[in-house]
Structure 1
């Protein structure tokens, strides 16, 4: 049975629409409202939850962003993107193909837009590559994973014409 992708809406600004009682997710990401677009912009940011047979298996937050092309090899100009701010597969559902299926649903949903993802570790590098995203190294060779400034994490793009 294919995954069901459901858009969630917060009750108010600075509120996360994700269920904080759902175990198997990094609770800091999904319950700390300061991490989900401060303040949350319900008309611009999209919160998605992915379900398999009624069980929540993955989550994503997508926002508007601009990538400075001057910083990355292979990019000439700055480009507007829909940035995958947060993406996580619930612990007990990892390594079953559900994350890639969720990523495919995001690609289909935003098919006329460039999607960006900043990888936080080598496992994420492999995941984004397998999901059809293309790696763009920084010109200055910086790779500071999980930095406070995400633009130093490795950049992966889907749908960009180079």
Structure 2
């Protein structure tokens, strides 16, 4: 597999740069106008498509975020991160190492910056841990998956010296 990471540029804010007709992705994440417009602004954020021999096999959106580290065990103060707001491997390419390779490409591209991931379920927890990210539990033990503001979600970080 020869994976290529391509940065996508939307024509305007709140417009998805991803191909809505591409099957195998959670279309609600990538094309729902209310979801797309609420958590991120594509003109400010980094939208990535991962291609294998011309086929789109994975997608990612990264946002600049600050995290209050005081809410997590082992962290302190405000931490500026590149948050992996959305990350998905196309359904027919899952369990083939595509996600691992795409995550490695993101780590390499953002070398020197802290990356964060707020996983949505136990499968995602396992993925981010296997991808080299470290889990930081909340001090208040809150673990509300997919909270609207991610304030109470589990936190995984890569590239931080805690």
Q: TM-score range by the shorter chain?
A: over 0.9
Counterpart of 2:14 in structure 1 is 14
**C-alpha deviation, 1:14, in angstroms:** 1.3
- Indicate yes or no: 2:64 matched with 1:64: yes
**C-alpha deviation, 1:33, in angstroms:** 3.3
Q: Could you report, residue by residue, the CA deviation over 1:76-125 in whole angstroms, capped at 9, with x for unpaired residues?
A: 11100000000000000001110010000000010010000001000000
Q: TM-score, normalised by structure 1?
A: 0.95
Larger CA deviation: 73-82 vs 144-153: 144-153
Q: Which structure 2 residue ranges, 5 or more long, are not aligned?
A: none
Q: Which structure 1 residue ranges, 5 or more long, are not aligned?
A: none
**C-alpha deviation, 1:152, in angstroms:** 1.3
**C-alpha deviation, 1:37, in angstroms:** 5.1
Task: Give, in whole Å, the separation in 2 of the partners of 1:88 and 1:35.
Answer: 15
CA RMSD, aligned part only?
1.2
Q: How many residues align?
A: 161
- Indicate yes or no: 2:44 matched with 1:40: no
Task: Give, in whole Å, the separation in 2 of the partners of 1:2 and 1:108.
Answer: 16
**1:70 aligned counterpart, secondary structure:** helix
Instruction: Tell me if structure 2 keeps the 8 A contact 1:50–1:59.
Output: yes
**C-alpha deviation, 1:75, in angstroms:** 0.3
